[in-house]
Amino acid sequence: MEEVSVFRNILEANEKNARTLKELFARHHILVLNLISSPGAGKTSLLERTLTELRGEFRMAVIEGDLQTDNDARRVAATGARAVQINTHGGCHLDSAMVLNVLDGFDLEQTDILFIENVGNLVCPVEFDCGEDHKIALLSVTEGDDKPEKYPLLFNLAAALVLNKVDLLPHVDFDMERATRFARQLNKNLTVFPVSCRGQGQGLEEWYAWLRKARAAKKTA
């Protein structure tokens, strides 16, 4: 019972900070997206393409969460976007206090979209609200197509599912229809984007259109 109480207290503290973040982001009309996936699904690759190809439209910034190193932050910064690294030193997720602590590194008046690239994990990051408007689930075709069934909470709460690395479909045993069916059984409103971040960027224009629509909604909210 004590463990349950401690975890409840942690979540309650996180929610308090998350409400502060939501109020702050709403005041500045910043669209905030929390990208969640298992390691290697391609969050950073998706960000590199998005930040590069939409930099003429939006002022974008990234909070990078990782156990160690600033490798991903350096890749993101190379696109010209502002990036701040959070190393959790073994922690399996980012939380709202961590996000609050790094906001001084951003000019919120000059930010349209803030991406939070969470630690690679399909469980813990889902339970901790970081003040985002939407959770974005990423699943690559190099993973099992039963991931939505095995890790239902993320796909239940996500606004969009990016099915990444579809250029590899001829070479892997992944059933797109099965993965999508599982995900939409959990969340009938889930928008699914099959994409490749390589070459011509298959499916990325649909993802960009969704971002434009979400940003416009936040701007007028």
> Any idea where the domains of the chain sit in the sequence?
2-219
Q: What is the pLDDT of residue 25?
A: 98
Rounded Cα–Cα distance for residues 173 and 20 (Å): 44
Q: What is the pLDDT of residue 6?
A: 57
Q: What is the pLDDT of residue 9?
A: 77
Edge-first strand order for the sheet with 191-194 is 82-87, 60-66, 113-117, 31-36, 134-140, 160-164, 191-194
Average pLDDT for 141-158:
96
Rounded Cα–Cα distance for residues 18 and 20 (Å): 5
Q: Is the pLDDT of residue 200 over 70?
A: yes
Q: How confident is the model at residue 2 (pLDDT cuts 50, 70, 90)?
A: low
Render pLDDT for 84-121 as a digit per residue (tens, 0 to 9): 999 998 899 999 999 999 999 999 999 999 999 999 99
In 3D, which of 40, 41, 47, 89 has the Cα closest to residue 65?
Answer: 89
Question: Which residues is 135 bridged to in the sheet?
Answer: 34
Average pLDDT for 5-13:
75
Q: How confident is the model at residue 5 (pLDDT cuts 50, 70, 90)?
A: low
Structure tokens that stand for 212 in this block: 């434009």
Rounded Cα–Cα distance for residues 73 and 89 (Å): 16
Average pLDDT for 125-133:
97
Q: Which residue's structure tokens are 């399996």?
A: 92
Q: What is the pLDDT of residue 3?
A: 61
Q: What is the pLDDT of residue 69?
A: 83
On average, the pLDDT of the chain sits at 95
Q: Is the pLDDT of residue 1 over 60?
A: no
| pTM: predicted TM-score of the whole model, two decimal places | 0.94
Task: Pick 2-219's CATH classification: 3.40.50.300, 3.40.1410.10, 3.20.20.70, 3.40.605.10.
Answer: 3.40.50.300
In 3D, which of 93, 94, 53, 88 has the Cα closest to residue 70?
Answer: 88
Helices (H), 84-203: 96-102, 124-127, 147-150, 152-157, 176-186
In order of 20, 118, 161, 184, the CA distances from 210 in angstroms are 26, 20, 11, 18
Q: Which residue's structure tokens are 């994990």?
A: 121
